[in-house]
Each structure stands twice: as structure tokens, then as C-alpha cells.
Structure 1
Amino acid sequence: MIWGYFFGDGKSKPSTLANPGICPNCNTRPVALNPTTGQYFDYCSKTCATQAKAPGTTQRGSLLLSLCEQCKKKPKFRDGTKVHPYCGRTCAKLAASSGSTPVSPTSPTSLRSARSTIPRTTPSGTHCQTPGCLSPVFVDANGIPSKYCKKTHREWGERGCIFCRAAPRNGTLAMCQPCYDRALHMAPVVIEVPEDHENYKSVAAQFQQSWRHNTACPQVRAVYKIVNTAANLKKYEQYRDGVEARGIFLSTGKSRGNENRRWHGTRRRCNIGDKGVTTFCTNPKCSLCCIVKTSFSLGFFKGATGWGRFGVGIYTSSTSSKSNDYSYNEGITSDWKALLLNKVVVGKGIKLTQDNTNLTQPPSGYDSVSILDRFPSGDTDQELGPCRSCPGRSSKLR
């Protein structure tokens, strides 16, 4: 099963993906998912849905009618009896000072409540990048502005949820729990990772550091997170735990099951990954989409090369430049290429010093096959060879 990232390399920078949207009423939280239909509601909660349908809005809470008349970004303040023209005291004062429509009377208690929950407005391009936050960015003593208004929002943006960018992520997940549950419900799904996020930087660094060929290393232009189905993830974890039980790698300071991130290059017959394209194609010959959607298949063994150094198996590499040799586009026009970065359960690997094309599984007592750092032919790649001991179809990979 695939559980990793793939990157695009080209001349232009990809645009940010349009995720399932922010609630048009609170303009802060993502809209809620209907688990029955798989479709999204118009709002994040029943509270926002009720507020959006209050007097002064259309039946569906049209943004043109429900947004503050001053900042045009936050929803108008509602005190339970009427909808006021502005989102809070700040915008009301700005409107009054600029000679706009007079401020509607509002009780001091209601204004204090609104002021405590609604950020200040700032000039375009200077507000915090956290979705829904309009606070001014932090400027250090040298006059250099940040991308965020405070440390908490910077933590969310650089190390938090890659999906909503407005909440801390849950444990080792790349997302907060609500966003992860939503993505898992839609899985398999591809989500763009923000360029300033630590996950993006980690993948880009591994790509550059593992480029060992005597050619110029391409620049990573985009990184996408692949969320696989719960069923595939469960199979992978069961296999990994089984390998761990046999080898006890955790006790030696290694990851569970000796899990590592490895590259895989393959054929792409659509533009998934280009400029924020995350929709799978239906072409059965697009190996990239097929792998991401259904995992690797031994039925396509030798399809690209016509042979296998270690026999029947699924090949990945610790060397990005090696896998890049197998990454190519076919039947499409694009300035981009794509590589898969997979989590692989290496387990106990046997290192071979010569080819063995007759293997159908690792030797007894081993979980995978690899080569030494320096192969007699001069190839410095570290390939992972066949693993036929895992349950299902290639479930050692995710």
C-alpha cells in the first residue's frame, strides 16, 4: 500500500489546491462532511447554518449578503434579534471614520463578545496566512515580517494540519483528526502540502540529499500527501507489526519493522501533480494513478525494464536519481515529472553482491533483498528486491 508523497518538477510553480472549503458563516472552520452521502454541507456546524439563515442573509447564507460591509471578509455580527452591517467594533469604527454607513446600535456586552472572537483587519498582503485569521503579521526588530501573526499560528502553518492549516496535527498524522477523518472517508486522495510546511521540507531534503548521479539535481516544485484507504492501511500495519514481532527492531533503535522511506519511479499518462492537479485518471496504463489508487501489482513486474536484478518483486530505491531514471511521461505534454516516496517495511534484508534473476521471494529468514553500497558493476544504488511474504498484494508498501 502506498502512503507517501510524490513531487513535481517543472518550470512553473503549482498553485495552491482548493480544499473542501471554509465555512462561509464563521470563515474559520472547514465545512462539515456528510458521512452518509460523502458530500459536504454548506457550513461547518448547525450553529453556523442557523446563523447564516438569520434575517439579512439569503436562504443559503450568501457571502455577498452576510459578509461585513467594511472588511468584506468576516460575517456580519448577529445579536440574536438582528444582523448588523459590520463584523465587530473595529470595522464599525473604521466605517464611521471613513464616512461610511452609520454604525447600528449594539449593546456593549455584544460588542465585547464580538471583539474577543474576531481578528483585526489589515491591509491586503499583510495579514496572517492562517485561514480565517485577519490579524497583522508579526514583524521582528529588523523590520522583517513573518507569514503569521503569532507563534501558535506559525506552528499550525509549519507543523500543523496540512489540510485546514488552522489546527495542530494529531500525533504522527500530517493533519488534525477531523481533517484526517474527512480525507480517510474520501481515500484514496491526494492533498498538496504547503511549501513552508515541515513535511514539504523533509521530502525535498531527502530528494536532494539522495541524488547521487553525476547530473544536476532537479528542483522540487510540489509535494503531495497521499492518503490511502483504511482497509489498505490496516493491512500494511498488520504486516509491519508481524515483521517487528519477528525482528524486534524497535529495541535496536530502528523504526517499527525497520520501516524506511524509499523512492519509486514509474510511468505517468496524465497530468496528476501538475499545477495542483489531484484528480486520478481512468487510464489503465497510467502506472502512477494505478499504484496510488490500488497499490503495486506484481503483474506489472518487468513492464518497464524487461528484467529484474533480483527476480520477481517490487523495486524501490534509497537513491532519488536512480528512481528518477524510471520516471517518465507518456502521451502527455508536461514540464513536470513525478516520483513516489513510499514507506517500506524493510525488515531483515539480505545484501547480495551479484544478480539473481530467479528469485521469487527473499531467502528464508529474510524480509527483503538489497544490494551493497558498491555493486561490482559500479552501481551505487540500494534497491529493495522481491518481498512475497507479505499478505495480500504488495502490502509491505504504503
Structure 2
Amino acid sequence: MSAHSSYTPNATCCYPGCREGAWQNPDGSYSSFCSKKHRDAMQQSNGPSPSVGGAKLCKNCHSRPVYVDAGRTHDFCGQRCSAQYQAGGGTQKRLCKNCHSRPVYVDGSGTHEFCGKRCRDSFQAGVAGAQGNRRAGICKLSGCQKPAYVGPDGVSSDYCSRAHRTLNQGVQDDGELCLLCGQRPKVFINGKMSDFCSSRCKDDTFGSTPIILNISSDMASFQDVTKQFTDQWKHSTTVPAIVKIWKVYCHKSHTDAFLSYKLDVERNTRIVGGNSRRRWHGTTRTCTIGDSENKGDLCKDVKCSICRIIESSFHKGNMGLFGPGIYTSATSSKSDAFVKELSGSYPAMSRNDVAKSIAFVKGLSGSYPAMSRNDVAKSIAFVKELGSPYKAMLLNDVVLGKTIKMTTGDPSLAKPPHGYDSVIGEPGGVLDYDEAIVYRNDAIRPLFLIIYNG
């Protein structure tokens, strides 16, 4: 599909009479049409640069473009209009008995009185278009107070628009709420369950990136990530309990670059989705982001790898057995070994230090000896709760593409061997557990921030 140069998430098909949403390309851009059929029809009617105004219209209804197939341009938009035209002798159109605006339906059994079942049922129910319209109710989409749409036949819809009908019919049965507003149910967008209730909440989120949004424990994604974390804990230690899970939205520029690279790899390798996989990454956290619902802001510490990754994703440079690259693993317990919690600016406090701190804060002068500068610093660290009782790990979307499996390390690698997109370190040689290495920032993006017991 040819894409617009601008990103228009609310685009509709340019084919005359079509109200479907425009096709969204894997890179996030939008086409001018909902399908290749409508695009090709317009191109064959109007040339390489289709324009709505120049479309050849149906000889019968004079409102829809003619049907085009196999290079042939027909006189009618479809078999129905062709039959109607022939039934009317080519000069007259018999109009629907109910709406008096559309031609009657014609099939092998003869010429009917109505244009379709809807008008037939409407007429039989006593709400004919010629007799007056039925009063419209209120749109059934939660939170919408607009009147429902009333068609030319006088029949009222349940919704104010096709968009709201699609939204409401796409709501999950379990009623999971929008990650941003938490007020309305999530909906399907382009056939896929969204994190949001509407395009507005989606656009507001991506307009505020980098940002993390809390996933409640009753959501399907919380259970899915928890299961992956548990199933992929291969060490003999007890699997830690997960405390919080956050959905990560890094900067839009990186998301666009990631999706573009993913599409390129898919085209080059012909592997669906560019062989993207969810992989774990353990790193350093110097703050308490994610520990509770009121700790969703990124810190400014350049040493806090967690916040810097969420902010702008990864950057090649970690030195390992396979050279400077971005290392992840399918084994959560292996990534746990690389987690470093440096949120405490001072070493763990002894019982006496804690007592001094309490005395200092409560102003119990005289109860304990005068505090040194170091004691004051410890007290401030203690009072501000700079330490975290938890650990943090990232679950990421990694485009692996065509992989090469290696059991022997090669620190000289600065990119995958020729013809490959990533390196897989296989257990059995120098490794006890797997590794996946990519060598470019746009090959990976963080998906989830997991907070778990240390």
C-alpha cells in the first residue's frame, strides 16, 4: 500500500462511499484506502494517481465507482445494480417502497419492493421512510451522549457513528479498562486489542512518551508476563514474587525506528514479524521507579540504566562474550544475575544507625551522642527512603531476524556475521544459559518493567 507522508490515525478510505478505516502499514503509516481492492479499482479508473473526483460512476446508481477486475472496467458497481438496470429497461429505476431513494433489489426470483431487508423490516414495522422517522436514542457507547444515527430509511442505529459502533463491538468481554484513563474499556483497533479505550487516549499516551503505565494484577497481560517470568526461571533458587508490572512506552522516535527496522527485517528474511521475541534484560537501577503506583516518573540520574532505557531504549556498548552489543536472555533467572539495585546512596544501616536516625528526626536531643556529618547523611538517606526493597527487570521486544547460533564466544564481534541479524549464545559451551545479542539500538525496545521481591 502506498502511504501518506503524514501520520493520520483517524484516516478513512478514499474510495467513494466507503467509510472503513484506512489500512495501517506495519511501520505505523496509513494508506489512502482500506484495501488493495479499493486502491486498484481507483487506480484503474483514474490512472496511477487515483483521485475520488475522477472515478467512473455506476451506470445505474450514479453514486458508486464502477467495478474493475483483471484490467476490465465494467458499467456497474456490482451485479445488483446491473440487474436493477436491466430490469428497468435501462431508462428507469424502480425505487424502494420504504426509503424512496435507493433502487429495489433484483435477483433470480424477480424484482422486489424494497432495496434490502432493513427497509423491508422497517416498512413492515410501521416506520417507513415516507411516514416519518423513528426518534433516535442515545449512542450506546459508554460515555457518549450524542443521538444515535438515523438512516435515510428512517431506521435508528444504536450508535451515533460507525466508529462508535466499532469501538463498542470491539470491547473485551472481561471489561479491562484503558491503561491511561482507567475509566472506559479497552477496544480493538485495526483488529488488535489496544491498551486504550480510544484513539484519543492512545494519542495522549504517545504524545507524553517516555512514560510507564501501571498494569493491574487482574489484567491478562499481568498474568501473561508473570507466567513467562515464572516459567523461564531456570535456576534452583525460589522464583521471586512479582509486585508490580508496568507497560513501557519509550520515546516515539525510537518506537518508529524500531517498527521500521522490524518491517525491513521481515521483508528481507520473509520471517513473520522479523522473528521478534520477548527477552529479559537485567541492569542497574539507582532510583525507586515502579515500586508503587505513585512512583511512575523517570529519574534524571545518568547512571540509572532502567530509566535511560525507558527514555530512549538501549545503546550498543555492553561488552560480553560476543563483543559490544545489547544482551538479553530467554531465561529470567539469568537476567536476574545482572540486576543491580543502587537506589540506596549509603550502605545498609546498623540497628544503632537506625536508632540515631529516629532520634535525629524526632528531635530527641540528648538521647544519643551528637551526630557526625556522616551520621547526618545516613539519616537523610534513611528518612527519604532512598533504598528499595525490590528488584527491577525489563522484558523487551527483540527483532532477532536470521540468527546464528554459537557456543564459543567471540569478543571481536561488532556486528553479526555476514548474512545474519543477531547472535544466539547456546548453552553447552562457554554458557550455562542462553543469550541473544543484537548490535543496533533499533532492533530492541522495552515492553514491560517488572518489579519483584529481591
Q: TM-score band (shorter)?
A: 0.5 to 0.7
**Alignment partner for residue 396 of structure 2, among 342, 348, 355?**
342
Structure 1 counterpart of 2:326: 314
By how many angstroms is 1:229 displaced? Answer: 2.6
Task: State the secondary structure of the residue aligned to 2:414.
Answer: coil
Write out aligned runs for 1:147-166 (5 A).
155-157=174-176, 160-165=177-182, 166=184
Higher relative contact order, structure no. (Cα contacts within 8 Å, ≥ 6 residues apart): 1
Task: State the secondary structure of the residue aligned to 1:222.
Answer: strand
Cα–Cα, structure 1 residues 292 and 317, in superposed 2: closer, same or farther, change >3 Å?
A: same
**Alignment partner for residue 208 of structure 2, among 186, 192, 204?**
186
Letter in 2 for 1:383: E
Question: Structure 1, unaligned stretches of length 5 or more?
Answer: 1-111, 119-151, 251-255, 303-307
Counterpart-to-counterpart distance in 2, 1:314 and 1:172: 30
By how many angstroms is 1:375 displaced? Answer: 2.0
Structure 2 counterpart of 1:375: 428
Counterpart-to-counterpart distance in 1, 2:306 and 2:431: 29
1:395 aligns with 2:442: yes
**Alignment partner for residue 436 of structure 2, among 365, 384, 388?**
384
Counterpart-to-counterpart distance in 2, 1:298 and 1:153: 39
Task: State the secondary structure of the residue aligned to 1:278.
Answer: coil
Counterpart-to-counterpart distance in 2, 1:346 and 1:173: 24
Question: Structure 2, unaligned stretches of length 5 or more?
Answer: 1-136, 144-170, 345-386, 446-454
Counterpart-to-counterpart distance in 1, 2:172 and 2:431: 49
1:296 aligns with 2:314: yes
After superposition, the C-alpha distances for 1:99-125 in whole angstroms (9 at most, x for unaligned) are xxxxxxxxxxxxx99xxx99xxxxxxx
Structure 2 counterpart of 1:275: 292
Write out aligned runs for 1:218-237 (5 A).
218-237=240-259
Counterpart-to-counterpart distance in 2, 1:345 and 1:378: 22
Counterpart-to-counterpart distance in 1, 2:221 and 2:180: 12
Write out aligned runs for 1:201-216 (5 A).
201-216=223-238
Contact 2:216 2:222 in 1 (8 A): yes
By how many angstroms is 1:328 displaced? Answer: 1.7
Contact 2:408 2:430 in 1 (8 A): no
Task: State the secondary structure of the residue aligned to 1:322.
Answer: helix
By how many angstroms is 1:154 displaced? Answer: 5.7
Structure 2 counterpart of 1:286: 304
Structure 2 counterpart of 1:55: none
Write out aligned runs for 1:95-174 (5 A).
155-157=174-176, 160-165=177-182, 166-169=184-187, 170=189, 171-174=192-195
The percentage of counterpart residues that share the same residue type is 33
By how many angstroms is 1:377 displaced? Answer: 4.1
Task: State the secondary structure of the residue aligned to 2:394.
Answer: strand
Counterpart-to-counterpart distance in 1, 2:397 and 2:409: 25
Cα–Cα, structure 1 residues 162 and 156, in superposed 2: closer, same or farther, change >3 Å?
A: farther
Counterpart-to-counterpart distance in 2, 1:227 and 1:385: 22
By how many angstroms is 1:172 displaced? Answer: 4.2
Higher strand share: 2
Letter in 2 for 1:286: C
By how many angstroms is 1:316 displaced? Answer: 0.6
Structure 1 counterpart of 2:109: none
Contact 1:360 1:386 in 2 (8 A): no
Contact 1:162 1:194 in 2 (8 A): no
Letter in 2 for 1:329: E
Contact 1:311 1:357 in 2 (8 A): yes
Counterpart-to-counterpart distance in 1, 2:185 and 2:438: 40
By how many angstroms is 1:153 displaced? Answer: 7.8
Counterpart-to-counterpart distance in 2, 1:378 and 1:309: 9
Cα–Cα, structure 1 residues 257 and 172, in superposed 2: closer, same or farther, change >3 Å?
A: farther
Contact 1:310 1:386 in 2 (8 A): no
Contact 1:312 1:359 in 2 (8 A): yes
**Alignment partner for residue 407 of structure 2, among 353, 358, 364?**
353
Task: State the secondary structure of the residue aligned to 2:258.
Answer: helix
TM-score, structure 1 as length reference: 0.55
Write out aligned runs for 1:52-131 (5 A).
none
Counterpart-to-counterpart distance in 2, 1:349 and 1:222: 33
Counterpart-to-counterpart distance in 2, 1:378 and 1:367: 21
Task: State the secondary structure of the residue aligned to 1:314.
Answer: strand
Structure 2 counterpart of 1:243: 265
Structure 2 counterpart of 1:366: 420
Contact 1:265 1:324 in 2 (8 A): yes
Contact 1:264 1:315 in 2 (8 A): yes
By how many angstroms is 1:309 displaced? Answer: 0.7
Task: State the secondary structure of the residue aligned to 2:333.
Answer: helix
By how many angstroms is 1:298 displaced? Answer: 2.3
Task: State the secondary structure of the residue aligned to 1:155.
Answer: coil
Counterpart-to-counterpart distance in 1, 2:180 and 2:223: 16
User: Rg: which structure is higher?
Assistant: 2
Counterpart-to-counterpart distance in 2, 1:378 and 1:258: 23
Letter in 1 for 2:443: K
Task: State the secondary structure of the residue aligned to 1:239.
Answer: helix
After superposition, the C-alpha distances for 1:218-268 in whole angstroms (9 at most, x for unaligned) are 011110011123221111111001111111112xxxxx1001111000000
Counterpart-to-counterpart distance in 2, 1:320 and 1:246: 30
Contact 2:284 2:341 in 1 (8 A): yes
Task: State the secondary structure of the residue aligned to 1:263.
Answer: strand
Cα–Cα, structure 1 residues 189 and 208, in superposed 2: closer, same or farther, change >3 Å?
A: same
TM-score, structure 2 as length reference: 0.49
Cα–Cα, structure 1 residues 335 and 154, in superposed 2: closer, same or farther, change >3 Å?
A: farther
By how many angstroms is 1:284 displaced? Answer: 0.7
